[in-house]
Amino acid sequence: MSNITLGDAEEIVGAAHQRAQAVGKAVSVAVVDAGGFPVAIRRADGARPLTPDIARAKAYTAAVMQRPGTMLKKWQESQPVFFAQLSQLPGAALPILATEGSLTIKKDGEIIGGLGIAGGTADEDQQIAEDVLASLGYELEFAAWGVAGRPAADHGKDA
């Protein structure tokens, strides 16, 4: 498993702050590696005090769940008890936040980290994150859960 480098994480953080400033927002940006461990976190002047923690939880979610927060929303809505319990697992370092501004960082088909943006509206956080990752050449497409592989009933046939 590859992880995002410090240099790449700092590039993402810098680009996100530039993009946020261009739209008049003071945000916090967090980048974590594929295991959800912090690589770079920065809070802009004027960003609310809690935003670095929110950004880190968003980045953590995108990395360890291996899907952007927006993809997780329907799952969370359909199984709220399950999602509530995820944050209580012994290995869970942070809450799982299925929300906008939480993007999985993927390069060459491999998940290498997570990005969290907090400080704007949900839509602004999402747009900043998407714009930055797209501009830096990261992949934004993810398969829906459970679509890879063959159905269980087909296993063993025609092998």
- DSSP class per residue in the chain: -----HHHHHHHHHHHHHHHHHTT---EEEEEETTS-EEEEEE-TT--TTHHHHHHHHHHHHHHSSS-HHHHHHHHHH-HHHHHHHTTSTT--S----STTEEEEEETTEEEEEEEEESS-HHHHHHHHHHHHHHTT-B---PPTT-SS--GGGTTTT-
Q: With a threshold of 0.85, does the pTM exceed it?
A: yes
pLDDT tens by residue, 78-112: 888 988 888 888 888 888 889 999 999 999 999 99
Counting residues of the chain whose pLDDT is more than 70, the rounded percentage is 90
Counting residues of the chain whose pLDDT is more than 90, the rounded percentage is 72
